[in-house]
Each structure stands twice: as structure tokens, then as C-alpha cells.
């Protein structure tokens, strides 16, 4: 088995801390399932409706993004990676996930977009549209997504 890199360990810890903090106060089903990404959308929408400005909730958004990325790691075969200078400039984030097909995606930024734009930037839909994710169950025909 491959040894985990610093980005993976750091982001997994952020995700776990976020889950502990949120579930200590609320009974939210944050179980790293694909369906739990609906809860992520719900949480971000609550922050938006609360009238918070992005700076005030930056740490919470980072935790939500870490959780989202960790769902991709656990359910879609992704790996956390530290982004290079060009990717950091493009994504505005220090970490991303590399999918099995080699593409790099930005779950941290996706959560920020959900906060800034709203419903049309669904985190759950983001997962469902990813190319190169590992199917959870073998389904005949190998349908392509998005």
C-alpha cells in the first residue's frame, strides 16, 4: 500500500476536525458518502442565508471543502495533492485532488463557489460530473458521466 503524503494527511485531519465540530452540535449525517454532499450544500446555503461574509466564514468553508475532497478520496479514488504555483493561481487554493484519470479538481474552491453563487454550484452535482471517478459498483455498459 502506498504511503500517504503530507497533503493527504493534512487534509484528512481538516476533514475529520470539521466533522467532529459540526456533528458535536448537530445531528448531521456526515459519513463521507456521496449523499452526504447534499448536507454540504445545505450547510453552505445556511452560511449564505445567514448573511455571513466570506472572510468571516473562511475557516468553515475550508473545513467543508476538506470534507468534500475527502469524499472524493474515499468514494472516487482521488488523492489529495499540493498544487503547484500555476494551479494555486488558477484555483486560488493550496490543495486539490487528483482523480484516477490524472485530472486535478478543486473541491475547496467548489465550496467557495457554492457560497458565493448559490444553488447552481452544487457540490453533490460536482461529484456526479467528475470524469475518471471509480464507480462504487460495477454497472454494465460503463456509462460516462457529464
**C-alpha span between 63 and 18 (Å, rounded):** 5
Q: What backbone phi and psi angles, to 5 degrees, belong to 35?
A: -65, -25
pLDDT at residue 1 tops 60: no
User: How many Cα atoms occupy the beta-carbon half-sphere of 66 within 13 Å?
Assistant: 22
Is the Cα torsion angle 24, 120, 109, 92 positive or negative in sign? negative
From first CA to last CA, the distance across the chain in angstroms is 31
pLDDT for position 24: 85
For 8-12, 68-72, 76-80, 130-134, which range has the lowest pLDDT when averaged over its residues? 130-134
Average pLDDT, the chain: 87
- Of 12, 45, 23, 22, give the one whose Cα is nearest residue 119: 45
Q: What is the mean pLDDT of residues 58-64?
A: 96
**C-alpha span between 85 and 81 (Å, rounded):** 13
**pLDDT by residue (tens digit) across 69-109?**
999 999 999 999 999 999 999 999 999 999 999 999 999 99
pLDDT for position 134: 61
For the chain, strand residue ranges (E) read 79-82, 95-98, 104-105
pLDDT at residue 15 tops 80: yes
Q: What is the mean pLDDT of residues 121-145?
A: 65
- Of 135, 143, 145, give the one whose Cα is nearest residue 100: 135
pLDDT for position 27: 82
**pLDDT by residue (tens digit) across 31-59?**
999 999 999 999 999 999 988 889 899 99
Instruction: Look at the chain and count its residues.
Output: 146
For 8-111, strand residue ranges (E) read 79-82, 95-98, 104-105
pLDDT for position 139: 35
pLDDT for position 66: 98
Amino acid at each position: 500500500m502506498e504511503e500517504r503524503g503530507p497533503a493527504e494527511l493534512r487534509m484528512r485531519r481538516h476533514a475529520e476536525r470539521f466533522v467532529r465540530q459540526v456533528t458535536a452540535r448537530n445531528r448531521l449525517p456526515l459519513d463521507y458518502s456521496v449523499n452526504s454532499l447534499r448536507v454540504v450544500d445545505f450547510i453552505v446555503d445556511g452560511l449564505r442565508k445567514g448573511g455571513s461574509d466570506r472572510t468571516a466564514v473562511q475557516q468553515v468553508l475550508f473545513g467543508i471543502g476538506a470534507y468534500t475532497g475527502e469524499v472524493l478520496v474515499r468514494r472516487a479514488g482521488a488523492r489529495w495533492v499540493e498544487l503547484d504555483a500555476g494551479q494555486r493561481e488558477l484555483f486560488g487554493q493550496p490543495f486539490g485532488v487528483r482523480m484516477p484519470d490524472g485530472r486535478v479538481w478543486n473541491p475547496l474552491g467548489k465550496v467557495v463557489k457554492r457560497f458565493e453563487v448559490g444553488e447552481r454550484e452544487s457540490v453533490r452535482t460536482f461529484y456526479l460530473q467528475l470524469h475518471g471517478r471509480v464507480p462504487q459498483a460495477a454497472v454494465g455498459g460503463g456509462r460516462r458521466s457529464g
